[in-house]
């Protein structure tokens, strides 16, 4: 691991603890990200992707959410150790998040302009006329005419609302952007517009980004690095090429097999049999073993660790082999 | 091949205080027996309304729906009940389409009880058989929907749709709410059932890779209008309508080396309220001209490949 990585998440463990049960949402997750890179966090519903993002931004609902262990270092500073006051200065300025559903993440009784201005005014000591000017510039940047500053969210379509959400997130030129399924609620032609916009802004501001998605096509388009999450663990991580050209974990391989493809004709898809495990009652050994076609006795009992099978390509599977081994 | 469903100039308008919504406007196509017709388009293009009209959950405003030689828009209530035995629907959201107070067995049995075609014992027997057919373990017979995951709920929805042995099933985004690994299970199940029972499907979705996988033929819709239709394989090889071209190029590909040349459309879908005559895509179309504001005709540019665009020959450099 290089010491100069911009973001370092180490052994993060998050649980949701209620009287009845404990949900093991994030189990010993580690990854790192260099400045200006885009990391794709891929996984299915309930894998723990959003919990990871919320923990980084420190907006985990608590109780029941509890960080049990681990550290999240941004430029060497562990955000989990900061006080709430210190965090408030960082949130919105240094780290921001785009939430999945643009329909519910905007305030319906504030104009979109005010919502962008709010962030700018909070983090910058500048006169209000200047704030408005910057907010208008931000609207223009995401492709919305500045004249629409005084309109309310309900006057915007889904794609436009998501642009507003992006404008709010990027208003203070954050160092780290957490984008949680930013285009999932959008139609494919609108998604194409929003992805182009995010790519452009990313390049311009050199923003480090974590993109959470279940869409492997979006990952292929946007990301430099990929981490595949299953049952709260990173099961495979590496460069985009490692994951897409040489997937090594049976779950990653399974995901690609289950996907209907535009460039190939197959009679039958190869689904991953079974269901993801119950997060309150995770299996012993490898968490994927009950669904895995290559499962052996060892898989069910051994602790499985992330192994580096090729430089920078990590896999959590005792049967995984390197590309050149 | 025999045609099972034929739709002629079908329209559905909704009157609203702000004007008339043209949800489905003058759509014509046919579905052959035992095949799958995929309907693709973005939100608001009228694909679900179309599906609901086909199983008569929605009255059509004008046009014909001919099912097995009979116009079902004109049926009496009694004949309608019969018709419903032949055509069923699977809904998008397995979380809200099942009655939360019905067990799995209740939900599957209900259509058989309503139809009166089966005795109690027969219905019981068929419920067991259907559960087995769609892959629900017998121990879940008395489970309630909230105890099931999305994939299993959708299996219940499918079993329920099959209860009366229909010939035709409208699948309205049946896998959109499901994760990739579960989605593949359900798509395989639908395909297997089709082969075993010679079912005819109309498969509505916004996901183009899903539609390519499952359909034999495809209709592309935009704001209530049919813009292009052809056999599935042909459409993915060659698109003629400017909207279809843009739509297909917008799909993010998992092939990291061969990036498609993306056509990014300007603007967003316009309003379907009191639209002007002519092509509804014209407002966003890079090739739009005066002529586009006239009503467009579906034209056969290649065998079985129809396109509604007056500039189709010019754009694609085809002979007149």
Q: How far is CA B132 from each of CA A196, A258, B110, B158, B205, rounded to the nearest angstrom?
A: 47, 23, 17, 12, 27
Report the length, in residues, of chain A.
Answer: 325
Average pLDDT over residues A2-16: 86
Q: What's residue A324's pLDDT?
A: 44
Please tell me the pTM assigned to this model: 0.87
Q: What's residue A189's pLDDT?
A: 83
Partner-chain residue, chosen from B149, B180, B248, that has the shortest CB–CB distance to A259: B180
Query: Given a cut of 90, is residue A254 above it in pLDDT?
Result: yes
Partner-chain residue, chosen from B188, B256, B258, that has the shortest CB–CB distance to A244: B256
pLDDT digits (tens, 9 = 90+) for A110-119: 999 999 999 9
- Total beta-carbon pairs less than 8 A apart between chain A and chain B: 116
Contacts of B213 in chain A (CB under 8 A): 260-261, 266, 269
Q: What's residue A325's pLDDT?
A: 40
Partner-chain residue, chosen from A157, A187, A244, that has the shortest CB–CB distance to B254: A244
- Using left for φ > 0, alpha for ψ between -120 and 50, and beta otherwise, residue B312 falls in alpha
C-alpha torsion A191→A193→A194→A197, nearest 10: 160
pLDDT digits (tens, 9 = 90+) for A28-72: 999 999 999 999 999 988 889 999 999 999 998 888 889 999 999
Best of A258, A264, A265, A279 to substitute, by most chain B Cβ atoms within 10 angstroms, is A258
Query: With an 8 Å Cβ cutoff, are A260 and B253 in contact?
Result: no
Q: What's residue A321's pLDDT?
A: 72
Closest residue of B to A185, CA-based? B43
Q: What's residue A243's pLDDT?
A: 95
Q: What's residue B218's pLDDT?
A: 96
Does B181 contact chain A (CB < 8 Å)? yes
Range A7-94+174-315 has CATH code 3.30.200.20: no
Q: Using 50, 70 and 90 to split pLDDT, how confident is the model at A303? A: confident
Q: What's residue A133's pLDDT?
A: 93
**What mean pLDDT value characterizes chain A?**
89
Query: Given a cut of 50, is residue A120 above it in pLDDT?
Result: yes
d(CA B67, nearest CA chain A) in Å: 29
Q: How many CB atoms lie within 10 A of CB A35?
A: 14
**Which residue is associated with the tokens 């962030």?**
A119
- Listed by start position, the domains of chain B span 3-237
Query: Given a cut of 60, is residue A2 above it in pLDDT?
Result: no
Does B261 contact chain A (CB < 8 Å)? no
Interface of A with B (CB under 8 A): 44-45, 157-160, 187-193, 195-196, 214-218, 220-221, 240-241, 244-245, 254-263, 265-266, 268-273, 275
- Using left for φ > 0, alpha for ψ between -120 and 50, and beta otherwise, residue A98 falls in beta
Per-residue DSSP letter, B98: S
CATH number of B3-237: 3.40.50.300
Contacts of B254 in chain A (CB under 8 A): 216-217, 220, 244, 256, 259, 261
Closest residue of A to B148, CA-based? A275
A281 class by beta-carbon count within 10 Å (0-12 exposed, 13-18 middle, 19+ buried): exposed
Average pLDDT over residues A125-145: 90
- Listed by start position, the domains of chain A span 7-94+174-315
Q: What's residue A3's pLDDT?
A: 52
Q: What's residue B227's pLDDT?
A: 95
For residues B170 and B161, give the distance between their C-alpha atoms in angstroms, rounded to a whole number. Answer: 9
Closest CA to B250 of A303, A217, A222: A217
Contacts of A187 in chain B (CB under 8 A): 42-43, 206, 269
Q: What's residue A63's pLDDT?
A: 83
d(CA B177, nearest CA chain A) in Å: 10
For residue B44, what are its two tokens?
């608001």
Q: What's residue B320's pLDDT?
A: 65
For residue B46, what are its two tokens?
């009228």
Phi, psi of A45 (to 5 degrees): -50, 135
Does B250 contact chain A (CB < 8 Å)? yes
b/e per residue, B243-276, with b = 16+ CB within 10 A?
Answer: bbbbbbbbbbbbeeeeeeebbebeebbeebeebe
Phi, psi of A216 (to 5 degrees): -65, -25
Average pLDDT over residues A94-102: 86
pLDDT digits (tens, 9 = 90+) for A184-234: 877 888 888 888 888 888 888 899 999 999 889 999 999 999 999 999 999
For residues A295 and A188, give the distance between their C-alpha atoms in angstroms, rounded to a whole number. Answer: 37
Query: With an 8 Å Cβ cutoff, are B213 and A269 in contact?
Result: yes
Q: Which residues of chain B have pLDDT under 50?
A: none
d(CA B263, nearest CA chain A) in Å: 9
Closest residue of A to B151, CA-based? A275
Does B187 contact chain A (CB < 8 Å)? yes
Q: What's residue B212's pLDDT?
A: 92
């Amino acid at each position: 691991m290089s010491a100069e990585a911009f973001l370092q998440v180490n052994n993060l463990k998050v649980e949701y603890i209620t009287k009845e049960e404990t949900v093991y949402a994030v189990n010993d997750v580690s990854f790192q990200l260099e400045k200006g890179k885009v990391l794709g966090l891929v996984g299915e519903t309930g894998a723990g992707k959003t919990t990871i993002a919320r923990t980084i931004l420190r907006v985990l609902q608590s109780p029941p959410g509890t960080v049990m262990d681990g550290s999240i270092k941004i430029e060497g500073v562990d955000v989990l150790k900061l006080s709430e006051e210190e965090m408030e200065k960082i949130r919105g300025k240094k780290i921001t998040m785009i939430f999945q559903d643009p329909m519910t993440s905007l305030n319906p009784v504030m104009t979109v302009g005010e919502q962008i201005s709010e962030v700018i005014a909070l983090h910058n000591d500048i006169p209000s006329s200047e704030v408005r000017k910057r907010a208008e510039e931000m609207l223009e940047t995401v492709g919305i005419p500045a004249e629409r500053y005084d309109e309310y969210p309900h006057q915007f379509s889904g794609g436009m609302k998501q642009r507003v959400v992006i404008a709010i997130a990027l208003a203070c030129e954050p160092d780290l952007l957490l984008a949680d399924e930013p285009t999932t609620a959008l139609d494919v032609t609108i998604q194409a517009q929003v992805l182009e916009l995010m790519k452009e802004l990313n390049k311009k501001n050199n923003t480090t980004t974590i993109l959470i998605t279940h869409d492997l096509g979006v990952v292929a388009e946007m990301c430099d690095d990929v981490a595949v999450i299953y049952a709260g663990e990173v099961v495979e991580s590496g460069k985009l090429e490692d994951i897409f050209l040489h997937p090594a974990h049976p779950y990653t391989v399974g995901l690609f097999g289950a996907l209907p493809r535009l460039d190939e004709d197959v009679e039958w898809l190869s689904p991953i049999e079974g269901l993801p495990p119950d997060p309150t009652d995770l299996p012993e050994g490898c968490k994927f073993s009950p669904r895995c076609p290559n499962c052996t006795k060892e898989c069910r009992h051994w602790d499985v660790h992330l192994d580096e099978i090729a430089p920078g390509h990590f896999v959590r599977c005792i049967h995984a082999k390197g590309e050149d081994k | 091949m025999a045609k099972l469903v034929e739709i002629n100039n079908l329209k559905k308008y909704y009157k609203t205080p702000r004007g008339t919504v043209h949800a489905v406007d003058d759509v014509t196509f046919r579905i052959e027996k035992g095949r799958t017709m995929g309907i693709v388009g973005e939100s608001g293009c009228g694909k679900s309304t179309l599906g609901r009209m086909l199983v008569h959950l929605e009255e059509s405003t004008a046009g014909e729906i001919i099912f097995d030689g009979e116009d079902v828009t004109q049926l009496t209530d009694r004949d309608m009940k019969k018709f419903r035995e032949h055509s069923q629907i699977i809904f998008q959201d397995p979380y809200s389409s099942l009655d939360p107070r019905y067990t799995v067995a209740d939900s599957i049995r209900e259509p058989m009880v309503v139809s009166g075609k089966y005795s109690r014992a027969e219905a019981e027997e068929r419920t067991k058989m259907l559960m087995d057919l769609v892959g629900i373990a017998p121990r879940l017979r008395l489970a309630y929907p909230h105890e099931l995951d999305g994939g299993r709920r959708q299996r219940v929805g499918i079993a329920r749709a099959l209860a009366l042995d229909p010939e035709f099933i409208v699948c309205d985004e049946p896998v959109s709410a499901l994760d990739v690994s579960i989605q593949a299970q359900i798509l395989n199940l639908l395909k297997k059932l089709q082969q075993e029972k010679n079912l005819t499907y109309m498969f509505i979705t916004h996901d183009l890779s899903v539609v390519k996988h499952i359909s034999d033929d495809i209709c592309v819709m935009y704001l209530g209008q049919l813009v292009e239709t052809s056999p599935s394989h042909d459409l993915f090889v060659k698109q003629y309508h400017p909207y279809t071209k843009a739509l297909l190029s917008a799909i993010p590909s998992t092939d990291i080396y061969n990036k498609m040349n993306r056509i990014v459309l300007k603007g967003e879908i316009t309003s379907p309220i009191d639209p002007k005559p002519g092509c509804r895509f014209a407002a966003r179309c890079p090739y739009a001209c005066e002529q586009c504001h006239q009503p467009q005709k579906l034209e056969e540019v290649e065998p079985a490949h129809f396109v509604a665009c007056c500039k189709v020959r010019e754009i694609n450099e085809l002979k007149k």
